[in-house]
Amino acid sequence: MIASNLLSQSIVPLKTSDSGEEALSIMSDFYVRHLPIVNNKQLLGLISEDDILEHDVSEPVGSYQLSMSRPYVHKNVHIFEVMSIMSEYNLTVIPVVDEEDNYLGLISQDDLLRFFANIGSFTEPGSILVLEMSKRDYSLSQIARIVESESAAVLSSFITTNLDSTKVDVTIKINRQEISAIKATFERFDYQIKASFQEADYFDTFKDRYDSLMSFLNV
């Protein structure tokens, strides 16, 4: 999956003549805190909500001093590179350009979330298991063999690290709702199970939190 596959045209970029007030209105409509400024397909920069609020909102954004450099990605970069740059600059959107650096569109946080929510490993039924181990003990092939020994399969996995610790959390999605036997096998091999979630329980908890948030917003 590359950047051009996730391009969105729903958010129109700013022109240098657009006012800060107009930019804030667009940000509010699309729930973002950044917008690209484009002049005749040329990407001039990325303006943030903070940039606007530090200036006179009635003035055109072309007169503003931008706090960031010109973050963007080329259309052929992998989606992981997109995520890396968005995380580095704490962006809600990132512009995408072609080989001549012409603006093609943008990718928002929502676009990334929808992409990962719709890939097979997330949509396929199963359970989630979180293992804690030392970095030197991590072996995905060994973890997969343990899961497969119980006639199941690892659908996806990722590692959460802490620079101040020698431990890592390994989160795996397994294609089975009932995983008590798999948990017992991991424990037999001295793996520490930090957490486990059956999909139904997980989504019930998620729904409860969502409903609570909606009730709070409606107060």
DSSP assignment of 142-166 equals HHHHHHHTTT--EEEEEEEE-TT-S
Mean pLDDT of the chain: 87
Across the chain, where does the E strand assignment appear? 34-39, 42-48, 73-74, 93-97, 103-108, 127-134, 154-161, 167-174, 192-198
Q: Which residues pair with 107 in a beta bridge?
A: 94
Side chain identity at residue 25, one-letter code: S
Higher pLDDT: 74 or 213? It is 74
pLDDT (0 to 100) of residue 67: 86
Decide which of 3.30.70.260, 3.40.50.620, 3.90.79.10, 2.60.120.10 is the CATH code for 121-210.
Answer: 3.30.70.260
Report how far residue 126's alpha carbon sits from residue 121's, in angstroms, rounded to the nearest whole number: 9
Report how far residue 174's alpha carbon sits from residue 171's, in angstroms, rounded to the nearest whole number: 10
Section 186-211 average pLDDT: 74
Residues 3-40 pLDDT 10s: 999 998 889 999 999 999 999 999 999 999 999 999 98
> Residue 150 in contact with residue 216, Cβ under 8 Å?
no
Section 198-219 average pLDDT: 57
Residue 209 has pLDDT above 70, yes or no: no
pLDDT (0 to 100) of residue 219: 47
Enumerate the CATH 3.10.580.10 domain ranges in the chain, comma separated: 3-116
pLDDT (0 to 100) of residue 180: 92
Residue 54 has pLDDT above 90, yes or no: yes
Query: Which SS3 state, helix, strand or coil, does residue 63 take?
Result: helix
> Residue 168 in contact with residue 133, Cβ under 8 Å?
yes
Q: Are strands 127-134 and 167-174 parallel, antiparallel or unpaired?
A: antiparallel
Enumerate the CATH 3.30.70.260 domain ranges in the chain, comma separated: 121-210
Q: Rounded to two decimals, what is the model's pTM?
A: 0.68
Determine how many CB atoms are found less than 10 A away from the CB of residue 45.
22
Decide which of 3.30.70.20, 3.10.580.10, 3.40.1160.10, 1.10.3720.10 is the CATH code for 3-116.
Answer: 3.10.580.10
Residues 99-142 pLDDT 10s: 988 999 999 998 888 887 776 566 678 899 999 999 999 999 99
Report how far residue 28's alpha carbon sits from residue 9's, in angstroms, rounded to the nearest whole number: 17
Higher pLDDT: 20 or 70? It is 20
